[in-house]
Amino acid sequence: IIPSSQFNINFRYTVTIVPYDAFGADGNGFLEIKQFTESPNILRPFVPINLKIETGDKQLSLLWNIDTKNEDVEFYKVYRALYNIYQRSRNFLLLATLPSSLNSFTDFTAENEVSYTYFVTAVDTHGTESLNPVDDGHITTNAVSATPSASLSLTSPDGLIASAGSNNTDVELSWDISAGVFDGYEILRSIGNNYSFEIIGQVFVSELSYIDTDALLVHEQNYYYIVRKYRDEVSLIVKSSSVLEDDQISIGKVTTMNGTSNISIDLSPVVNIANLEDPIADLINAAIAVHHHSNDTDGSSGIDKRIELRSNVHISDWTTNDYQVFTTQEDIEGAVNYFLQVSGEINEDYFTINEILDTAAFRQAQA
């Protein structure tokens, strides 16, 4: 019997009992994982495993594995403390409480060049929480640390201010002008918490304000906002050609004479960017139509693909210039396997030069 004074109800113990015979040889052991609590048969849930952290600009993101031990986890709690080599439990504060459907959390309140340590616990449907630093003075080895730092490409805008609009129903956002190469600002909003942000709008780089219309119509609702820069990553390839290539859309024709001293620009074929959707859609539909199982007996292919799916096609209209490379214009799309059958007949045309048959070579080939 082990006295209760040697156990603490705030900890989970692994108890191993191994029998030994009179000669000191050990037998099969018995292992039990037990949580000694004030109430019998109540065990604390395990802390989430494989906790990972990723750094960002004024933010740190946590990710952990969803519970797989069949525990009835209802919430996750995230604790944070300033990083310290000799970390103490009293340094931790509860940062957020998340539903069990989430296994990630982004701390948008982190400051650049400041190091933080995070700790995540689980809370079951009975309200019982894993051992934690606030209530139990416990720090797990699953704690992770990181330091956010400023982005080298897109710095975050500063001076974000949120205020009620003149009509008391809108939220007006404004921020300071910012340097850098980018295309605009994204506005994100989270309702009721500081972790479930969604993009609600975008503005051009020249604008420094945004109005969230009718956001204040819901009484006593808390809103959280983030404004960040974005840049459209598009690669532009410039090519010049005197002839319009296939599958391209002409937006103009430039003609030069005598170098650059005489230039004329023909804009008659120009398609407004707003109307590019139609010709692009036509090109896409034409490419897709090739693979449709439709009746095209009166069209370009002349094939009723509802019946013949090109599973067995015999091609005989081969052409050649050197009797070594043969080509055909027949449509063989849709086939999975191809079989090439070469006849055993010798073609006299291959041995005919200037309309004179090389009989000796022809007979030798036949032999």
Q: What is the 3-state secondary structure (H, E, C) of 310-359?
A: CCCCCCCCCEECCCCCEECCCCCCCCCCCCCCCCCCCCHHHHEECCEECH
Judgement on whether residues 14 and 76 belong to the same structural domain of the protein: no
Full residue range of the structural domain in which residue 261 is found: 238-289
pLDDT of residue 263: 77
Judgement on whether residues 131 and 174 belong to the same structural domain of the protein: no
Looking at the domain assignment, is residue 277 inside a domain?
yes
| Count of domains for the chain | 5
Question: What is the per-residue DSSP string for 124-137?
Answer: ETTS-B---TTTS-
Judgement on whether residues 85 and 106 belong to the same structural domain of the protein: yes
Judgement on whether residues 267 and 316 belong to the same structural domain of the protein: no
pLDDT confidence band for 117 (50 / 70 / 90): very high
How far apart, in whole angstroms, are the C-alpha atoms of residue 226 and residue 186?
8
Whether the pLDDT of residue 33 is over 60: the answer is no
Judgement on whether residues 317 and 356 belong to the same structural domain of the protein: yes
Looking at the domain assignment, is residue 199 inside a domain?
yes
Looking at the domain assignment, is residue 298 inside a domain?
no
pLDDT of residue 185: 92
The CATH number given to whatever domain includes residue 70 is 2.60.40.10
CA separation, residue 205 to residues 77, 158, 225, 359 (Å): 38, 14, 18, 81
pTM score of the predicted model: 0.51
pLDDT confidence band for 35 (50 / 70 / 90): low
Whether the pLDDT of residue 342 is over 70: the answer is no
pLDDT of residue 308: 46
The tokens describing 124, both together, are 């079951």
Whether the pLDDT of residue 254 is over 80: the answer is no
Judgement on whether residues 276 and 316 belong to the same structural domain of the protein: no
CB 75 within 8 A of CB 92: no
Q: Locate tokens 């525990």: which residue?
A: 71
pLDDT of residue 225: 92
Looking at the domain assignment, is residue 363 inside a domain?
yes
pLDDT of residue 83: 92
Whether the pLDDT of residue 326 is over 50: the answer is yes
DSSP state of 66: P
Judgement on whether residues 95 and 142 belong to the same structural domain of the protein: yes
Looking at the domain assignment, is residue 177 inside a domain?
yes
Whether the pLDDT of residue 26 is over 90: the answer is no
Looking at the domain assignment, is residue 44 inside a domain?
no
Span 353-357, average pLDDT: 82
What is the tally of helices (H) and strands (E) in the chain?
2, 23
pLDDT of residue 309: 45
Span 250-268, average pLDDT: 72
Span 51-63, average pLDDT: 91
How far apart, in whole angstroms, are the C-alpha atoms of residue 154 and residue 123?
38
Between residues 272 and 151, which one has the greater pLDDT? 151
Span 100-122, average pLDDT: 91
Domain boundary at 209, 230, 251, which?
A: 230
Looking at the domain assignment, is residue 352 inside a domain?
yes
Instruction: Identify the CA nearest to 313 among candidates 346, 292, 341, 288.
Output: 341
Looking at the domain assignment, is residue 47 inside a domain?
no
Whether the pLDDT of residue 65 is over 60: the answer is yes
Evaluated on CA atoms 133, 135, 138, 142, the torsion sign reads: negative
The CATH number given to whatever domain includes residue 168 is 2.60.40
Whether the pLDDT of residue 198 is over 60: the answer is yes
